[in-house]
A and B are shown apart, each in its own frame.
Chain A
Amino acid sequence: MALKKYFPVFVLPTLAAFTIAFAVPFILGLFLSFTEFTTVIDAQWVGIANYIRALSNDDFINALWFTVRFTVVSVVTVNVIAFALATLLTKGLKGTNIFRTAFFMPNLIGGIVLGYIWQLIINGVLRFFDVTITYDPKYGFWGLVILMNWQLIGYMMIIYIAGLQNIPTDLQDASKVDGASRLQTLRNVTIPLVMPSITICLFLTITNSFKLFDQNLALTAGAPSKQTAMLALDIYNTFYGRIGWEGVGQAKAVIFFAIVAVISFIQLALTRRREVEQ
């Protein structure tokens, strides 16, 4: 078959790109987490010592808890608000398109820029109390939540709108005829039918919240005393900030990868199961 003959020709470019940009760095990273090194070419094998140091590192555990708390809060707020906005903006109100565009815009701004913008805004408000965002880790936490909401709501809203528009109107009409209240329609008709969108949105918000880096760096950089440092920032600081800790940083990164992978798989499996065929 011709296809078989040309198989390598078609696959090669993609395969090469995948290998260079993903597989090689990933395997190298995995290998480096078991070694001690200054630069990536002078590694010495130390076994699981790095993992022990990583897990007994208070900063890492703190960052993990902070990240988990942040993820839970922002996943809930982002999705609830995005869904509410999507419902509003599919009702055929005046100016729907303008609102959709406006809500989507923050998503187009880079994380570092957003972080600094919000730092200015929040510090501008806190100025009246003669403090800044680094005064209390709570400020940093809620600052990050607000920032995350502001950035992600628009994006998630677009996905929910697409989902909502796919629901056939006859189903909603039918439920109305059957005497279902608005809440009942929402719970028993709308939500099951937009489940695919919910799957995607949950996946995106969970992974994005977990992996948050630029916004964290720009907004608080972990201050005060690393109490607002999330996992990615902690890994970065470990890798570059401490002599002799490069391997530990790498080990933290591998643990981080494992956590994100496990959580997203569980979430995907759970929500997929609830998706229904129309």
Chain B
Amino acid sequence: MKRITAVLLSLAVVLTLAACGKKDDNSDMNAPKAGTVYFLNFKPEVADIYKEIAAEYKKEKGVDVKVVTAASNTYETTLKSEIAKADAPTIFQINGPVGYKAWAGYCEDLSDTKLYSYLTDKNLAVRSGNGVYGIPYVVEGYGIIYNDAIMRKYFALKDKAVSISKATDIKDFETLKAVVEDMTKHKKELGIDGVFASTSMGSGEQWRWTNHLASVPVYYEMKDESDDSTIVSTLGKKEIGFEYSKNFRNIFDLYLNNSVTAKGLLSGKSVDNAMAEFALGKAAMVQNGNWAWEQISGVSGNTVKAEDIKYLPIYTGAEGEEKQGLCIGTENYLAINKNASAEDKKASVEFLEWLFSSEKGKDYVVNKLKFISPFNTFKDDEMPADPLAKEILSWMKKDVNNLEWTFNSFPGQQFKDDFGNALLEYVQGSKDWSHVESAFRTSWKNER
């Protein structure tokens, strides 16, 4: 009897182990030969919407779409482990030319797909040689978001120190600085704690400065050297002068000195904190992109009205900046896994083409995902209606020089961390500005 029990117990263990391993095989057996789609999503804020889209697609075309979303800031980690599995993602995302360098061995050439032909501006795609390896699916823009209600209140003040009378008259750094510093003096009357929301310096919260803000001075530096796309020319830079460091410092100091939060406490602040301060009307301005609308409108007790939200370009005191616009581009590129089976690859491309060209798919993209789409399948009226997206669209039509997202070609995460760390030490006053400059140059050289 004992013997039998022992054998049974051991068998049970072996069987459970085997059962764990078997699950996947079973589902593969049942799956249609037509191929399945596994989409590794980068944007946690729209995870549920992708699930809805997957269910809709299954209903319409009978193709299984599996959507997995990586938690904020863990996309590379998740991708690294997921793609090593037998059941690997068929659609994943790269963040531009630098991301392509890391994942080159996994990106399928998409130059023959309809999806690529839909692209309004073919230059936006990530290419290498004659191949197209990453297709952007959203256009985004960032700048200084301001709350016009507070600005109007300021411009109505009798003792304001500037001669201009509305926020749209701010056309360069000098004016911006004069307005902001005068607003700080009047912050009691304006009912704000500071002009700018917290310069978030917490770990993982520094990308607004290390990526977005740093993009502006590097853009000008690259334009001084050649007229090419700065994304392309920056990619080839082995070393960088950081010639416009003074301009970076101009605006960064302005953020710090007129902030809601004291400098020493900024390392505890996150982007969410900053957006909440803006939404609650404690700050008049915040640097961020149009994706932040959800964050602003989602804060409970938010006092900012949709019609009061406007954009200012990030002025840094560079020459000719009167004509400068917002920073418009993307860091979201879709790639197809080269190592997936032919059926899966075909199914994946078809899924994306359906999403970005069928009526139903487009409806999801415009009204649920709220993407400003870079594809010619979308008509002018098929664009999201939230205030920040509308602002971006209107800036795209203005006669201004909208800047590219030059930071797409910055060296990897390590560079951004090194630079962010140096900025933090500068903010806390333990190091001076020359330390930031040298960290920028040295780390660029090391990480390139």
Contacts and interface: CB of A to CB of B under 8 A. Distances in A.
B6 A224 contact: no
B14 A10 contact: no
A6 B80 CA distance: 42
A242 B412 contact: yes
A13 B421 contact: no
B80 A9 contact: no
B203 A224 contact: no
A134 B425 CA distance: 9
A135 B264 contact: yes
Contacts of B264: 129-132, 135
A202 interface: no
B424 A41 contact: no
A245 B76 CA distance: 13
Interface in A165-220: none
Contacts of A240: 76-77, 80
A90 interface: no
B10 A12 contact: yes
A232 interface: no
Nearest to B428: A135
A25 interface: no
Contacts of B204: 221
A1 interface: no
B84 A16 contact: no
Interface in A21-50: 38-42
B428 A224 contact: yes
Contacts of B17: 13, 16-17
Interface in B62-89: 76-77, 80-81, 83-84
A41 B262 contact: no
A242 B447 contact: yes
Counting contact residues on chain A (CB < 8 A from B), the size range is 35 or more
Interface residues of B, number: 40
Contacts of B447: 242
A12 B267 contact: no
A130 B265 CA distance: 6
B415 to A, nearest CB: 9
B84 A242 contact: no
Given A38-B105, A132-B264, A132-B265, A10 B421 contact: no
B398 interface: no
A87 interface: no
B290 to A, nearest CB: 28
Contact of A131 (B10, B106, B203, B428): B428
B98 A243 contact: yes
A39 B80 contact: yes
Interface string B254-284: 0000000011111110000000000000000
Contacts of A6: 3, 6-7
Contacts of B265: 123, 127, 130-132
A242 B415 CA distance: 9
A9 B425 contact: no
A223 interface: yes
Contacts of A38: 80, 102-103, 105-106
A261 B79 CA distance: 32
A266 interface: no
B303 interface: no
Nearest to B204: A221
Contact of B421 (A9, A39, A132, A224): A224
B203 A221 contact: yes
Contacts of A223: 203, 267, 421, 424
Nearest to B7: A9
Nearest to A241: B413
Contact of B425 (A13, A221, A224): A224
Nearest to B415: A242
B3 A12 contact: no
Contacts of A39: 80-81, 83-84
A135 B401 CA distance: 39
Interface in A219-275: 221-226, 237, 240-245
Contacts of A17: 17
A98 interface: no
B3 A130 contact: no
Interface in A119-166: 119, 123, 127, 129-136
Interface string B98-129: 10011101100000000000000000000000
B14 A12 contact: yes
A122 B276 CA distance: 24
A2 interface: yes
Nearest to A6: B6
B76 to A, nearest CB: 6
A17 B17 CA distance: 9
B203 A222 contact: yes
A41 B85 CA distance: 9
Contact of B262 (A40, A130, A133): A130
B267 A132 contact: yes
A136 B430 contact: yes
A245 B413 CA distance: 12
B422 interface: yes
Given A221-B204, A242-B414, 19 more contacts: A6-B6, A9-B6, A9-B10, A16-B14, A38-B80, A38-B102, A38-B105, A129-B264, A131-B264, A131-B428, A132-B266, A135-B267, A224-B424, A224-B430, A225-B421, A225-B424, A241-B412, A241-B413, A243-B101
Interface of B: 3, 6-7, 10, 13-14, 17, 76-77, 80-81, 83-84, 98, 101-103, 105-106, 203-204, 262-268, 412-414, 417-418, 421-422, 424-425, 428, 430, 447
14 contacts: A9-B6, A38-B105, A123-B268, A127-B265, A130-B264, A132-B265, A134-B267, A135-B430, A223-B203, A224-B430, A225-B421, A225-B425, A237-B417, A240-B77
Interface of A: 2, 6, 9-10, 12-13, 16-17, 38-42, 119, 123, 127, 129-136, 221-226, 237, 240-245
Which 6 residue pairs spanning A and B have beta carbons closest together? A221-B203, A225-B421, A131-B264, A13-B13, A39-B84, A130-B264
